[in-house]
Chains A and B, each alone.
Chain A
């Protein structure tokens, strides 16, 4: 997801406009000049200024220098992902997707099955073989449940597969 400065700058500026506008609509505290709207308006104005400066490309020279310094240490940055096919780049959505799956599924399926499914899918996506991914999913999900549920007393839902502890 490498975007041009013009796009991210405009986004920041738009956010600033929304923050200032949203802030200005907040009800004031009776008898007080300064209320909950002061700070969001101030931030909004700051964001608008920064957004415009970024879109205009100001400050980019600093970034190039920092990148050059890092390139000495880490070698040229990996731009493989921008050239890689779309399906490869879409893999970036898998981790947040799995977290949302957790939110939706954990109360119905229970912690251990949900975690096992997450680990299995993520592990296969990272290129693990089935004979690694399957035992990993089974063992790690039970181990995490044991640590968090038993030792740390986090109320993880039991769901379909209650654990003996």
Chain B
């Protein structure tokens, strides 16, 4: 109880409240601009968090990412351009509603079910994290190795691209993580005599490069999206209680799927939305209505992507293994602020954990009023021409990267990874898998090498311990899954032919 009161005191400090409010507005604006994703909003926020107290820093990341995921629905609904990848799954449906003159229903559903989903995800975080923390206390390097590897495999599974290319991206990330001196022998690896590379490649400049600069490059060579016609909205939340009553099953299913996908290391909000939308259509009584402006799928997918956001913090807080690219950034901030992820976080820093839960709930409640304001001013925000937004973002990338270590080499990295990210994305190599590889590389290598040293070079102990064996089986299943799907697709048409 004392811890809860202490947590409330931490959250209600003026600097934390101001951080939540400002980063919420920031997240709403960035998320609503087409092409600027929630991950990018979070990455650009990191240099700002250096100067905040630990709780305010984490609060600003939580608030900005939650708001950005919701506000990605706005341009999707009004312009048929998803603001963030997590909205892409149901953009068509939302736009169909807008064309039918029911933009309020679509936007309201996005807002209302996002907020409810976020709260459901938070509850799962509150319930699951301490229970898993006890389990995690018994983990040794073998389990950590498989867990990290499983996370990387999940990231390749959900990439919506060729699995081979996704694995190649992931390996590329692991290779980049090898650069520097932080390795079992303490020898400079792949530094080519460049002093700046001795310390390794920091994830933040990479993230800013692949998510922000590559987006500026893409905008440079693609036509400007159409301007938004002015529109007056009716009541945003009017129909939502009715929808909640009608589709509570879909909402709960969306929440659950979102939570499960979020907890899986490596898989995040965009995957949750795709899976939930597909599921909603599969189990619907009226699947024919999907795609014609039917709110059912919106409810399920909107509930799902925000739920995954909170539960994505479970593996991050417990094991330091990011649930998605947003928590990959958050982990860096946690380390920087002395809140090192791990099961002991829940015993030693319990009040900080409670504070984190409170911030999640607060951010999701705040989302409703701020979201309504955002929807009403959206037509003005979306009118901001690219020619004014993109150049400012470019300068912010440079300053933000510089601020991470006050050295200009970070800016060179940002430029390099901007090009790398653009070329990879253009050729079907998912960049998120590479980023997770970079973030988790050191951990994977350390747990792998330490385990091998402990086992005297034998691979058997990797499969002997019970938890480790289960994790190993899951990882191998994730590796073989695409092969299974591929052969299934090959066999099935033949069966059908034979049946005919």
- Interface residues in chain A, defined as those with a beta carbon under 8 Å from any beta carbon in chain B: 1-3, 5, 8, 12, 15-16, 19, 22-23, 26-29, 32-36, 38-40, 43-44, 46-47, 50-51, 53-54, 58-63, 66, 69-70, 72-75, 78, 80-81, 84, 88-89, 91-92, 94-100, 102-103, 106-107, 111, 115, 118-120, 122-123, 125-128, 132-133, 136-137, 140-141, 144, 148, 151-156
Contacts and interface: CB of A to CB of B under 8 A. Distances in A.
B140 interface: no
B223 interface: yes
Contacts of A32: 453
Interface in B34-88: 47-48, 50-51, 80-82, 88
Nearest to B425: A1
Given A50-B164, A78-B222, A92-B422, A152 B88 contact: no
Contacts of B187: 26-27, 36
B400 to A, nearest CB: 8
Interface stretch (B118-126, B331-339, B363-371, B386-394): B386-394
A123 B388 contact: yes
Interface string B444-482: 010011001100010000000000000000000000001
27 contacts: A2-B427, A15-B175, A19-B175, A26-B187, A35-B185, A38-B448, A38-B449, A39-B174, A40-B178, A51-B168, A58-B164, A62-B161, A62-B162, A63-B162, A73-B80, A74-B88, A91-B220, A94-B220, A95-B216, A96-B418, A98-B394, A103-B411, A126-B390, A132-B387, A140-B395, A148-B399, A152-B50
Interface residues of B, number: 80
A59 B482 contact: yes
Given A2-B427, A95-B213, A128-B387, A89 B162 contact: no
Contacts of B161: 62-63, 66
B163 interface: yes
Nearest to A152: B51
Contacts of B350: none
Contacts of B345: none
B82 A12 contact: no
Nearest to B424: A8
B385 A128 contact: yes
Contacts of A69: 160
B163 A59 contact: yes
A152 B57 CA distance: 13
Interface string B415-448: 1101100110011110000000000000001001
Contacts of A122: 216, 390-391, 394
Given A1-B423, A128-B387, A99 B448 contact: no
B168 A50 contact: yes
B243 interface: no
Contacts of A39: 174, 178, 183, 445, 448-449
B219 interface: yes
Determine chain A's interface SS by DSSP, over half rule: helix
Interface in B217-257: 217, 219-224
Contact of A136 (B92, B165, B388): B388
A19 B406 CA distance: 30
Contacts of B423: 1, 3
Contacts of B216: 95, 122
Contacts of B482: 59, 62
B415 A100 contact: yes
Contacts of A34: 184, 449, 452-453, 457
A61 B488 CA distance: 13
Given A36-B189, A128-B388, A95 B418 contact: yes
B261 to A, nearest CB: 17
B425 to A, nearest CB: 10
Contacts of B395: 102, 115, 118-119, 140-141, 144
Contacts of A47: 168, 171-172, 175
B175 A40 contact: yes
A73 B418 contact: no
B92 A73 contact: yes
B443 to A, nearest CB: 12
B190 interface: yes
A63 B428 contact: yes
Contacts of B48: 152
A88 B222 CA distance: 10
Given A62-B162, A99-B414, A123 B399 contact: no
Given A22-B190, A60-B162, A152 B47 contact: yes
Nearest to B410: A103
Nearest to B81: A74
Contacts of A100: 412, 415
B397 interface: yes
A102 B414 CA distance: 12
Given A43-B174, A63-B162, A96 B220 contact: no
Contact of A148 (B178, B403, B412, B415): B403
A74 to B, nearest CB: 7
Contacts of B388: 123, 128, 132, 136
A81 B218 CA distance: 10
Given A29-B185, A39-B174, A50-B168, 8 more contacts: A12-B168, A36-B183, A62-B486, A96-B213, A96-B418, A99-B414, A144-B396, A155-B406
Given A40-B175, A99-B398, A154-B406, A27 B392 contact: no
Contacts of B221: 81, 84, 88-89, 91-92
A59 B392 contact: no
Cβ-closest 4 pairs across A and B: A128-B387, A36-B185, A122-B391, A59-B162
